[in-house]
Amino acid sequence: MRGRWWGLLLTAVIVFLLAYVGLTYLDRGNEPTISYTEFSRQVDAGNVDKIYSKGDAIQGELKSARDNPEGDGDYTRFKTQRPAFADDDLWRQLDTHDVTVTAQPVVRERGVLSNLLFSLIPIVFLLAVWIFVARRMGAGMGGAGGMLGRKAPPKPVELQPGKERTTFADVAGIDEVKGELDDVVDFLEHPDAYRRMGAKMPRGVLLAGSPGTGKTLLARAVAGEAGVPFFSASASEFIEMIVGVGASRVRELFAEARKVAPSIIFIDEIDTIGRMRGGGASVSGHDEREQTLNQILTEMDGFSGSEGVIVIAATNRADILDPALTRPGRFDRVVNVSPPDRGGREAILRIHTRGIPLAEDVDLTQVARTTPGMTGADLANLANEAALLAVKRKQDQVTGSDLSEALEKVQLGAERTLVMPEEDRRRTAYHESGHALLGMLQPGADPVRKITIVPRGRALGVTMSTPEVERYAHSEGYLRGRIIGALGGMAAEQVVYGVVTTGAENDLEQVSNIARAMVARWGMSERVGRLSALPSDPQQAYGLAAAPQTLDVIDAEMRRIVDECYEEAIRKLGDHRGQLNALAEALLENETLEEADAYRIAGITRLTKDDAQ
């Protein structure tokens, strides 16, 4: 606020000075200054009507205009200065020629008070405009000592005309989470039943999970099911450079929610203000973020069971929240919102395709099977991309081909119109065939769904492999199989051409991550032992996580695992060189091979069950 007032004061001073100078020095009239000789000449000629003298300064007015010998144009009013050494009889000459000597200036000038008043008019106008804009834009600081008006109090989220409330019918794929929130809905609908039993509902529910899993949608569904006012705010809205504004807004939000209780307060991305305290104090000793967090803790701790106000918050980083925020009595119920399983993905797809006309060949069950790890937001985007493709193709319905192409676009990027030399195109075909063939040969590997040498995103070609069933725990054999499959492209280039290219950059990153996790996190190395030597948090520095000797052992074990897998990849591709050539030639001819065609050309029968080693 101090900065705003300084800026306003500086602007006012500048406007005042400009107005004062303009009114004082530029608006005195346009009377010229003539020489005393010219003045004496006009007196002798009897052309002077009246004069006013103050000391040796003389103002006057002629009877008729005369040309100004010392300037442009003619003049009637004039100014001049009588020299101190002049020894003329001026009064006698003036009296002889009937010149009126007045007691008031011929050219009137404004006084200091008049100039001051006229100078204040722009300042008053500036203040009025600034106050009006500040009020309209909600710039009043309210509880922070603002003197230009208060910000409008928070209001519940209003429904748009013709739009229905979000309910649990609009949420799918996370049934276990909905069960956790059913208690909240029941409490909001029947608070008296809980009071009679002496039961108290959780004062806060924390929804934690990956981005796009539906945390905000769940909060809206709870409010829609209970039919209560829903206050929505982002944690970043509370943060201001002015100390105390965030805490003031928190008080207003909770006060408004209590007025219309039972109600729900939803705070999105609460980790913005809910991080552990003590690590980021400002120089002044007053951290606005910490003050805002303290106010939230105080408001939640002050709740009583009869108020009927429940706080729901969402975060992607529950591990960095302050312990005081997640203790019992505040956010005492933590609900983990995970990406949906195959059945959940199918249910989500059915919700997001309710308004999309689907062709008969669309199999949402198959689409759900080929989209492991995708969240609700990803699936909504997939359905929308398929609808956009259908519109571009001037179709009346969305077909299975549209969904398949939309999935490739979402996962791999849009197609690129890249003209490759024939040699690079053939090398890419062998590279992708190596990935695919090893994925088919390796027991327990994920089935190959599609092979293409059409450039997409940053890749010149892609081999898509997705698991037949959801995997929640991975064996060492499965992980080695993934490493072998990822090294298949480089191994194929080595077998066919005897050299490797830069096309395996992304494959090597994937291989390094898997091998490092096997050795340092999952206890799959005898030399490192059954230890978690490296953190799972990618933001923590790798070199500071363990002793240098341990890091050396981890690197050596990673090299051993990758070298063994690469040798096996070279051996298998050499033993099945004919199948590798067949896949590469088919890719050069067709550019894209679907699952059934790829297995048929390779002469391999795909197992319906995954047999992990």
With beta carbons less than 8 A apart as the criterion, state whether 325 and 274 touch.
yes
Cβ burial 41-64 (10 Å sphere, 16+ → b, else e): ebbeeeebbbbbbeeeebbbbbee
Which pairs count as long-range contacts for 31-34, CB under 8 Å and 24+ apart, including other chains? 31/59, 31/75, 31/77, 31/78, 31/79, 31/107, 32/68, 32/70, 32/71, 32/75, 32/78, 32/79, 33/78, 33/79, 33/80, 33/81, 34/68, 34/70, 34/75, 34/78, 34/79, 34/80
Is 214 labelled a binding residue? yes
Give the residue among 435, 522, 450 at the shortest CA–CA distance from 486.
Answer: 435
Sheet with 309-315: strands ordered across? 230-234, 263-268, 309-315, 204-209, 333-337
Residue 55 marked as a ligand binder: no
246/432 Cα distance (integer angstroms): 55
Q: How far apart are the first and last CA of the chain?
A: 67
- For residue 431, say whether it is annotated as part of any ligand binding site: yes
555 among the known binding-site residues?
no
Task: Please tell me the distance from the alpha carbon of residue 304 to that of residue 286, in angstroms, as a whole number.
Answer: 30
Which position among 432, 493, 557, 568 bears the catalytic label? 432
Q: How far apart are CA 42 and CA 64, in angstroms?
A: 10
The burial of 163, by beta-carbon neighbours within 10 Å (0-12 exposed, 13-18 middle, 19 or more buried), is given as exposed
Whole-angstrom distance, CA of residue 587 vs CA of residue 278? 59
Does 211 count as an annotated binding residue? yes
Contact 63, 47 (CB under 8 A): yes
Q: Which residues sit opposite 358 in a β-bridge?
A: 398
The token duo for 142 is: 């309210």
Sequence-separated (6 or more) residues with CB below 8 Å from residue 85: none
Q: Is the link from the previous residue into 262 a cis peptide, with omega within 30 of 0?
A: yes
- Token pair in block for residue 513: 């991550």
**The pair of three-digit structure tokens given for residue 255, joined into one six-digit string:** 């006060």
* 204 in Cβ contact with 313 (< 8 Å): yes
Cβ atoms 415, 457 nearer than 8 A: no
In the residue annotation, 526 being an active-site residue is answered as: no
Helix (H, G, I), strand (E, B) or coil at 360: coil
Q: Strands, E, within 432-547: which ranges?
A: 448-452, 462-465
Buried b (16+ CB within 10 A) or exposed e, 553-588: bbeebbeebbeebbebbbebbeebeebbebbbebbb
**Cβ atoms 187, 194 nearer than 8 A:** yes
What count of Cα atoms within 13 Å lies in the side-chain half-sphere of residue 538? Answer: 4
DSSP-derived letter for residue 139 is -
Answer yes or no: is 262 a known binding residue: no
How far, in whole angstroms, is CA 483 from its chain's centroid? Answer: 35
Closest by CA to 427, choosing from 379, 494, 369, is 494
Q: Does 79 carry a binding-site annotation?
A: no
Cβ atoms 575, 495 nearer than 8 A: no
User: Annotated binding residues, as ranges?
Assistant: 209-216, 431, 435, 507
* Residues belonging to the active site: 432
Residues annotated as binding site for Zn(2+)? 431, 435, 507
Known binding-site residue numbers for ATP: 209-216
